[in-house]
Amino acid sequence: MPSTIVGFRRKALLVSAVLLVATAMLFAPDSRAEKGQLFDPKCLKCHTEFNKLDNAVAGDFDSISDKAMSFQVNVGDKIQIVKFTPETQVENVEAIKNLQKPIPVLVSYKQQGADLVATNIKAKPVIKVPEDKQLSVADVENLLKKPGAYTLVDSRPPINYQEGHIPTAISMPFGNMPTLMDKLPKDKNSLVVFYCGGFR
């Protein structure tokens, strides 16, 4: 058999194999979709624990329609419409009508036909730090000159910490803090300073 024909067949087999793999990847079930997970990628940067949730939507609240009894959530580059009922529970706001754009929300839902119906809406709480508990950049710079007199905590996602962080800072990602409390000093009177990447 001519070598050119053998070479052609090998190339054809290789192309067929690549196409089969690509097709399998294209039609492979999406584990997130199977679990009913609709998450904005930026939410997962801090809240890796969301991956354990089923039937949940996470993103920025966009708008609400009382007439349609539904609201919209920005999930990455998509808009997700979610229905609500008088039984829908809300956290960190008085009522659904108090939700405002672009408050981040985590929505638990149940599927009813083609509709997602919210059972619980958890809004990201507004955290206000008293002014006397805040440090300026100059304050932090002065602290860095006194090794051992403080504990500096970087609460951003690990990837951000690895890209760069303030010298002496330890990594305690916000979403994982409950499991990392042993990193904090045992002396409750010692100075602990937290910093993050800002409101998301």
pLDDT in tens, 48-73: 788 889 999 999 999 999 999 999 99
> Do the Cβ atoms of 46 and 174 come closer than 8 Å?
yes
R_g over Cα of the chain = 24
Cα(116)–Cα(37) distance, integer angstroms: 12
pLDDT at res. 35 = 63
pLDDT averaged over every residue in the chain = 83
Average pLDDT score over residue span 156-183: 90
- Which tokens is 57 given? 């939507």
Average pLDDT score over residue span 106-132: 92
Question: At residue 184, does pLDDT exceed 60?
Answer: yes
- Which tokens is 89 given? 């529970």
pLDDT in tens, 21-52: 444 444 344 455 566 789 988 888 778 788 88
54 exposure class (CB count in 10 Å sphere: 0-12, 13-18, 19+): exposed
pLDDT at res. 16 = 45
